[in-house]
Amino acid sequence: MDPQRLQQLLAAVAAGEVSPEEARERLAELPFADLGFAKLDLHRELRSGLPEAVYAEGKQADDLVAICRRVLAAHGRVLVTRLDAAKAAAVRAELPQAVYNERGRVLTLGEPHELAPSAGRRADGPVGDEGTAGEEGTAGEEGTVAVLAAGTSDLGVAEEAAACLAFFGHPVDRLWDVGVAGLHRLLGNLPAVRRARVVVAVAGMDGALPTVVSSLVRVPVVAVPTSVGYGASFGGLAALLTMLNSCAPGVGVVNIDNGYGAAVLASRIARSGAGA
């Protein structure tokens, strides 16, 4: 149960519209719902501000459908990550209202989270719009989260982060193919990067993008190493070590290919910075 629904339930009890016994029934599955093959943490949004995401790898399509139905009933929205196209088709056959982002392997049901105006929601466009590189202003004045992909090969991880951030309610600027091999591409998008409240920088190979970005902006940079690269990149380990050894302060690093984790961290930073 999300905080808004819990508040509505408590208000209904206080107003005499719902009996304490009925309210107890509705709250019986806090803190988790036991489906036998899964114990769903329905209490997580009350604790951390975001509901539990469903990690699809290793799960059967029938399991995913059952989990999605139960989470949807509790929260009114569901986020599924690392979902391949075949399983997504099976889930959408049962839940046709679901939206699937194939590049990011993310499936969503229900409306995105609502953020307070202070958390930076744009008034002039829907959540998740790519946005444009407008004029430079005060860091974070529009409250966007800028997601940067060093190269096209990094787009799967970058799109996972962007899709999750949009689902969390944040306006997102997607800036693709802005790696340091062609620095002019990054500099050409610098106004959009600088107006973000938080930057997520996704890069494989040498993993240098987050360091360069952090040297140019005054906001936190969430660095995401990817497993893209030739043999000596060691499946993203080289990029990970580069990011951990960044000579520019203000860089926080998540695990290799972890676009979802980057989105959660960026969301918490953005909401905390806005007092949300």
- Mean pLDDT by runs of 10 across the 276 residues of the chain is 65 82 64 62 71 89 90 85 95 93 94 60 35 40 83 97 95 95 93 94 96 96 97 96 95 97 95 60
Strand locations in 92-157 (E): 99-101, 106-110, 144-149
Give the end-to-end CA distance of the chain in Å, rounded to a whole number: 20
pLDDT tens string 112-129:
776 655 444 433 333 333
**Per-residue model confidence (pLDDT) at position 97:** 92
Residue in the structure block whose two tokens are 């979902």? 83
* pLDDT tens digits, 5-44: 667 777 888 888 878 877 666 665 556 665 566 666 676 6
pTM: 0.80
55, 160 contact by CB (below 8 A) = no
214-240 in b/e form (b: 16+ CB < 10 A) is: beebebbbbbbbbbbbeeebebbebbb
Q: What is the pLDDT of residue 52?
A: 80
What's the confidence (pLDDT) of residue 126? 32
pLDDT for position 237: 97
Give the pLDDT of residue 223: 98
Domains of the chain: 3-9+30-110 (no CATH), 117-273 (3.40.50.1970)
